[in-house]
Each structure stands twice: as structure tokens, then as C-alpha cells.
Amino acid sequence: MGEIDWCRAIVVELNELKVAETVVHWMVVNFADADGARASIGEGTILGVTPSECLEATGIAAVARERHVPVLDLDALPARKTPIPNGVVLDHLMISAAVAEFDYIVSLPVMKTHMHCRVSLGLKNMKGCLRGREKVRLHQLPPCPAFPGVKPLDLAIADMAAVLAPHLALMDGSTGMQGLVASAGSQLHPGLMVASDSVLAAGAVAAVLMGYEPRDIAHLRLAAHRAFGVIDCAQMEIDPPSWREWITPFELPPQKSNFEYRDVHVLDRESCSACLSTMLMFLQRHYAELGDYLPLTFAIGKGHATLPERAFCLGKCRAKAAAGQHVFMKGCPPVASDILRAVVADQCHLSRRETQD
């Protein structure tokens, strides 16, 4: 990408407009009906859910079928090793080879907050183009000594911008998600969409509309610092000029997973969003049933050197380290109801041992 010092963004108020449906229609009219051109919808998901489940649940698959637009499972298709020029924490990425077959890429995320990155918008959304577990690798990178205090995930997303910037970013704010992450957050309805041919400009405007300062979003700041785009709204032409009237503050993602669950400790090191989301979903659904078993400690992510003796280890990442020493729950991510079963079974096992002693 060349150096960018000015850009344009548009904010549109939505009235019952279904953004994904409208974008599919627009793609068909502008691309698929042109001679020799084809439009497709690509999806790559968080672990624990497949792209087709996701597209069916959101209704996008139905619209695609109706308009004869192919749907691509970017997790299942072959990937290509793509070098990252001047990467800070990445020297390459395994990107779905299908992405390179298209001349024009649109990033279409829902506006939402994110526990690891504060917000997840057009640039972070491009992680969906990475092959399956390549997405997890970005969550498990070691700290970078040259950037103390900066999460390696944010540095990796800024590296990714060098090779995976979309041509158009459309932030769907018809319905947004606030709080932790998609499955454990709550909905809100700003009723707007942000569009720009600069993914950083769109991200910055969307961040302001969500109540955040773009420079506080580390991956946006880092990508802008590397001249991948502009995040200073004063350097943009934003239409309409009164766009700030539509600011709808999104609730901040919690910085600690055990913030509202007394006597539950979640030790999180280098987990990906799927395990974190499962953990929070488990607590939301089952905390009331845990009374007899508290206090409880859970460990997620592969970055723990040591753990307290009675910690429950969750997910494939902890399999080796847990072996023989901790109660381990398989899955990638594990299933919330299995976690409850494991806690109850462990307590029964302990009670039996105490009776025998």
C-alpha cells in the first residue's frame, strides 16, 4: 500500500435496511452481472462454529442462494503462505488461496467490542481470511520486546494490514454487539453503517461512533503509524458533517473474565476468543448452579508456566500441561455444559475420596 494522508468516509443512517442482504444485491448488480465477473461471499469463523452454520444463522446463505452467489468456506479451502513485508511479529500468514482470486475485496463486519482488541471492525475482520488455526496463532505469539505493553495480537493485526487490506470496508451498525465478545456480549442498535475505501478510516469513524478514541485502539494506531491509512478524523472528509450526532456508546469489554462472578477465578494466558467466550457463556448460564463448588479456578490458553493445584484446565491448548495434574476438559473450545459436568464430577470424586479416608 502506498502512503495515505487523506481519506473519505460516509456514515449512513439505516431504516430497517438489512446490510448484508443489500451488499449481496449490490455485488450481484455491480460485479456478478458484468461479463466474466463473479461475486462470492467468503467466511472464516472463530473456533467452535463453522462458516456455513454462521451464514445460515445470519440469513446470508439464504440470500446468496436466492441471488446465485457462491459461498466460500475460507477455513476449509487450501491456504497460501504469504510473506509479510517488514512484519513486526509475523513473517508470513497462511491466507486462504481463494482470496487472491478476487480483484475487489469488501470487508463487512458487524460493529462490536472485543475483549482482546477493544473493538473488532473492518481490519480485524480480515482475520477471517486466514486458514482455520492460523487465526489462533495470532493469539499465541510471544510479547515483542520492542513494543513493551503492546499485545502481540494488536501488532499481528497491524502486520496483517500489509497484505490483507480490503478495497472497501462497510461497518454494519444496524445491530452491534457490546461487552465481551459476540456470544457473551449484548446487542444494541445504533442503526447506521460506515463506508470507506480506507479500512483504517472506516474503523476510526466507527470507533468514534462507538464512543472510543481511535488512537486508543492499538491495532488501528499501529497500522496508521506504519502508513497503512489515516485514523485522525480531522484528516478525513466525513459525510454528513453532523455524523458525531449518531454516537452510541458501546459498553467497554471487561478487562477481567471473573469481574462479576464471586469466587470464580479465570486465569487467561494466550487464549483465543473462542475459549474466553465459552468461559463467559458457562458462567452466565451456570453460575447459579456452582454455589456448592466454589471457589473455583479455571485456566484457559496455552501460556501458563504454573497453575494452582486445583485449577480446571480448559481446551486443547492445555491438554499437554494438564496431563495427570489437573482436571482437563477437551474441546477447542470446550462445551459449556461439559464444564459443569466436569466440575460436578470432580466434586463427587473428592467427596468419595474423603469418605473412604
Binding residues vs ligand SF4 (CB under 6 A): 47, 136, 271-272, 274-275, 300-301, 315-317, 332-333
Helix 199-209 to helix 218-225 angle, to the nearest 10 degrees?
Answer: 150
- Which residue has the CB atom at the shortest distance from ligand SF4? 315
Q: Report in angstroms how near the CB of residue 354 gets to ligand SF4 at its nearest.
A: 32
Nearer to ligand SF4, 25 or 269 (CB): 269
Q: Report in angstroms how near the CB of residue 246 gets to ligand SF4 at its nearest.
A: 35
Nearer to ligand SF4, 136 or 164 (CB): 136
The alpha-helical segments, DSSP class H, found in the chain are: 19-27, 51-58, 60-67, 122-125, 134-137, 152-160, 199-209, 218-225, 273-286, 319-322, 336-356
Cα distances (angstroms) measured from residue 295 to each of 287, 311, 312? 11, 10, 12
Nearer to ligand SF4, 42 or 301 (CB): 301
Instruction: Please state, in angstroms and rounded to a whole number, the distance separating the CA atoms of residues 266 and 184.
Output: 15
What number of CA atoms fall less than 13 Å from residue 339's CA on the CB side?
Answer: 29
- The DSSP result for 280-341, as a single string, is HHHHHHHGGG-GGG-SEEEEESS--S---TTPEEESGGGHHHHTTTSEEE-SSSPPHHHHHH
Q: Report in angstroms how near the CB of residue 203 gets to ligand SF4 at its nearest.
A: 24
Q: Report in angstroms how near the CB of residue 336 gets to ligand SF4 at its nearest.
A: 13
From 100, 92, 152, select the one nearest 129 (Cα to Cα).
Answer: 100
Collapsing DSSP to helix, strand or coil, 199 comes out as helix
Nearer to ligand SF4, 67 or 285 (CB): 285
Q: Report in angstroms how near the CB of residue 51 gets to ligand SF4 at its nearest.
A: 16
Q: Report in angstroms how near the CB of residue 301 gets to ligand SF4 at its nearest.
A: 5
Instruction: Please state, in angstroms and rounded to a whole number, the distance separating the CA atoms of residues 288 and 294.
Output: 11
Nearer to ligand SF4, 114 or 221 (CB): 114
From 159, 151, 227, 230, select the one nearest 198 (Cα to Cα).
Answer: 230
Q: C-alpha cell of 49? A: 462454529
Nearer to ligand SF4, 109 or 315 (CB): 315
Instruction: Please state, in angstroms and rounded to a whole number, the distance separating the CA atoms of residues 255 and 116.
Output: 8
Nearer to ligand SF4, 112 or 316 (CB): 316
Q: Report in angstroms how near the CB of residue 256 gets to ligand SF4 at its nearest.
A: 17
- Are β-strands 110-114 and 118-120 bridged in parallel, bridged antiparallel, or unpaired? antiparallel
Cα distances (angstroms) measured from residue 264 to each of 252, 277, 314, 325? 21, 15, 14, 20
Q: Report in angstroms how near the CB of residue 274 gets to ligand SF4 at its nearest.
A: 4
Q: Report in angstroms how near the CB of residue 355 gets to ligand SF4 at its nearest.
A: 34
Question: Is 179:273 a contact under the CB 8 Å cutoff?
Answer: no
Nearer to ligand SF4, 42 or 315 (CB): 315
Nearer to ligand SF4, 221 or 304 (CB): 304
